[in-house]
Amino acid sequence: MMRAQAHYATNISNVQDLAIFATIVEAGSLSKAARELNLSLAMVSKRLSKLEELLGVRLIARSTRSLSTTESGQHFYEQCRDILHGIQLAERQLQSRQTEVSGTLTITSSTSFARLFLASIIYDFQVLRPQVSIRLLEDDGIVSLIDAGVDLAIRQAVLPSSSLIAVAIASDHRIVCASPGYIAKTGPLRSPDDIAAHNSIVFGMPPIVDWVLSDGKETKTVTVDWRMSTRSGDATTAAAIAGAGLVYSSTWAVRQALEEGKLVNMLPAWRSPVRSIYAVYPSRSFQTPLLSEFVKFLTKRAREYERRYRADLESLAPGLESLITELDDPALQAAAPPS
CATH number, domain of 25, equals: 1.10.10.10
pTM: 0.60
Residue 235 lies inside a defined structural domain of this protein: yes
Q: Please report the pLDDT score of residue 325 as a whole number.
A: 44
Residue 140 DSSP label: S
Beta bridge partners of 67: 62
| Owning domain of residue 44 | 8-99
The rounded distance, in Å, linking the Cα atoms of 241 and 227 is 15
Last residue of a domain, one of 99, 130, 152: 99
Q: Same structural domain for residues 95 and 177?
A: no
Q: Which residues lie below 8 Å from residue 52, measured CB to CB, with a gap of 6+?
A: 58, 59, 60
Residue 192 lies inside a defined structural domain of this protein: yes
Q: Please report the pLDDT score of residue 204 as a whole number.
A: 80
Residue 272 DSSP label: P
In angstroms, what is the C-alpha Rg of the chain?
34
Residue 160 lies inside a defined structural domain of this protein: no
Q: Same structural domain for residues 95 and 179?
A: no
Beta bridge partners of 246: 200
Q: Please report the pLDDT score of residue 336 as a whole number.
A: 36
Q: Please report the pLDDT score of residue 328 as a whole number.
A: 46
Q: Please report the pLDDT score of residue 311 as a whole number.
A: 59
Residue 116 DSSP label: I
Round the average pLDDT of the chain to a whole number and report it: 82
Residue 84 lies inside a defined structural domain of this protein: yes
Q: Please report the pLDDT score of residue 172 as a whole number.
A: 86
Q: How many domains does the chain have?
A: 2
Q: Please report the pLDDT score of residue 330 as a whole number.
A: 43
Residue 3 lies inside a defined structural domain of this protein: no
Pairing type for strands 246-250 and 60-62 reads unpaired
Pairing type for strands 246-250 and 264-265 reads unpaired
Helix ranges restricted to H, the chain: 15-27, 30-37, 41-55, 71-99, 111-113, 119-128, 145-148, 180-186, 233-241, 251-259, 289-328, 330-335
Q: Please report the pLDDT score of residue 320 as a whole number.
A: 47
Q: Please report the pLDDT score of residue 6 as a whole number.
A: 52
Residue 322 lies inside a defined structural domain of this protein: no
Last residue of a domain, one of 42, 67, 99: 99
How buried is 51 (Cβ within 10 angstroms: 0-12 exposed, 13-18 middle, 19+ buried)?
buried
Q: Is 193 left (phi over 0), alpha (psi -120 to 50) or beta?
A: alpha
CATH number, domain of 231, equals: 3.40.190.290
Q: Same structural domain for residues 182 and 269?
A: yes
Last residue of a domain, one of 246, 277, 308: 277
**Low-confidence residues of the chain, pLDDT below 70?**
1-11, 13, 64, 92-100, 157-162, 284-286, 309-339
Residue 291 lies inside a defined structural domain of this protein: no
Residue 243 lies inside a defined structural domain of this protein: yes
pLDDT tens profile 210-225: 999 999 999 999 999 8
